[in-house]
């Protein structure tokens, strides 16, 4: 059962073959994005157990929903990289590959005898992408990392949550997913460079580095003001009113990013007096008196539903949006219109709804060409293909 023939030739990465040694989240999220964009991804897994994510719940028909959400459009072969016969198969796969992606701890590939120097010598066109906790260099390079570890270490956690709350992680695995996305960018950059040079490159992406990169605003703010950023709930640190507000029946957002928007907002809310109040005369003043302003706005907003306010403000060009739960956003007409939910199915045919791919290139929208693979399900087809090469 081969899948790669089903790649539409107009897919952006059609013709690119990726050998994928990654597991759990950061690496598989990277390779799924590349697969969605048309690359052929051959997932090489540990015999017997496979990707660790296969053991993480919740389970549907005995298959991990966690695994299924980041492994569509891939083939699977189980290889023991310490066994000579399996190493031969692995090396034959590398012969035909454009990219090798791995997210082991630094040093692991060297121990297996697949260090960059050796790979570059034997497969000069191969791009070798590594995603790790702390990168291939530096004093922390050999330490293990999980999403939670880098969220805490990087400072992302220090600016997340309520001002008087306990430390809170971002509600998704931004440590893993940020690294996966940056690894996609690095891999595609190396492939573009290869178009000119004919040679593959080493791509080194660290989860901690990616979290620091995502701290753009807190780092610049601290650097400019000398004040240590802390958690401030949902409001914007330097624009007001820019926050979540309570209407009669629930939460919604008002994002007044300029004086001009604020000057339009007050008459719409029938609060003209706010425009005369020196505390709210400029964005800087509003930031200083954000709590007083929020109290006055919420007193007015409590008089009607969030649908009423969202409709009124949207019609008048004020950036706003309802606060949705996961089921609400999954049912949202805009999300449906953009095809941002897709479905995969277990071997027994149970359908699981998962997040789609947001990248559209020309007419190519990512589709599910093949279901998340069972462990080693493509062995026979891959070996046959290698034998015929």
Catalytically active residues are 236
C-alpha closest to that of 37 among 76, 74, 2: 74
Tokens read off for 48: 């017997």
CA distances from 174 to 33, 169, 187, 255, 311 (A): 15, 9, 19, 24, 32
Positive/negative CA dihedral, 347, 350, 354, 360: positive
End-to-end CA distance of the chain: 17
C-alpha closest to that of 30 among 62, 81, 64, 74: 74
The tokens 């035909």 sit on which residue?
96
Tell me the C-alpha distance between 278 and 285, whole Å: 8
Helix/strand number for the chain, H first, E second: 17, 15
C-alpha closest to that of 21 among 86, 79, 87: 79
3-state secondary structure of 183: helix
CB 205 within 8 A of CB 183: yes
């Amino acid at each position: 059962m081969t899948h790669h023939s089903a790649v539409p030739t107009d897919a952006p990465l059609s013709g690119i073959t990726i050998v994928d040694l990654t597991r759990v989240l950061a690496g598989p999220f990277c390779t799924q994005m590349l697969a969605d964009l048309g690359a052929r991804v051959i997932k090489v897994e540990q015999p017997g157990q496979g990707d660790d994510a296969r053991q993480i719940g919740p389970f549907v028909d005995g298959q991990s929903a966690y695994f299924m959400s980041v492994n569509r459009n891939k083939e699977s072969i189980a290889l023991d990289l310490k066994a000579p016969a399996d190493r031969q198969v692995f090396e034959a796969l590398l012969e035909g590959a454009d990219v090798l992606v791995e997210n082991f701890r630094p040093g692991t590939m060297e121990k297996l005898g697949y260090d960059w120097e050796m790979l570059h010598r034997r497969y000069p066109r191969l791009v070798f992408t590594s995603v790790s906790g702390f990168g291939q260099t530096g004093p922390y390079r050999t330490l293990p990392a999980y999403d939670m570890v880098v969220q805490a270490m990087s400072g992302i956690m220090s600016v997340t949550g309520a001002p008087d709350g306990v430390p809170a992680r971002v509600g998704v695995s931004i440590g893993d997913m940020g690294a996966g996305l940056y690894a996609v960018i690095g891999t595609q950059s190396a492939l573009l460079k290869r178009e000119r040079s004919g040679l593959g490159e080493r791509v080194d992406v660290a989860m901690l580095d990616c979290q620091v990169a995502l701290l753009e605003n807190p780092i610049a703010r601290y650097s400019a003001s000398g004040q240590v950023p802390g958690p401030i709930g949902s409001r914007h640190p330097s624009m007001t009113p820019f926050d979540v507000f309570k209407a009669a029946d629930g939460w919604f957002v008002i994002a007044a990013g300029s004086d001009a928007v604020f000057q339009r907002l007050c008459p719409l809310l029938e609060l003209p007096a706010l425009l005369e109040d020196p505390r709210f005369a400029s964005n800087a003043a509003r930031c200083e008196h954000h709590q007083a302003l929020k109290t006055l706005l919420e007193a007015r907003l409590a008089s009607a539903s969030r649908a009423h306010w969202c409709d009124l403000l949207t019609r008048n060009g004020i950036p706003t949006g309802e606060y949705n739960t996961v089921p609400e956003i999954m049912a949202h007409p805009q999300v449906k219109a953009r095809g941002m939910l897709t479905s995969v199915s277990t071997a027994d045919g149970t359908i699981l709804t998962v997040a789609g791919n947001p990248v559209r290139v020309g007419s190519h929208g990512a589709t599910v060409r093949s279901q998340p693979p069972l462990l080693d399900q493509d062995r026979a087809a891959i070996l046959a293909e290698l034998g015929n090469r």
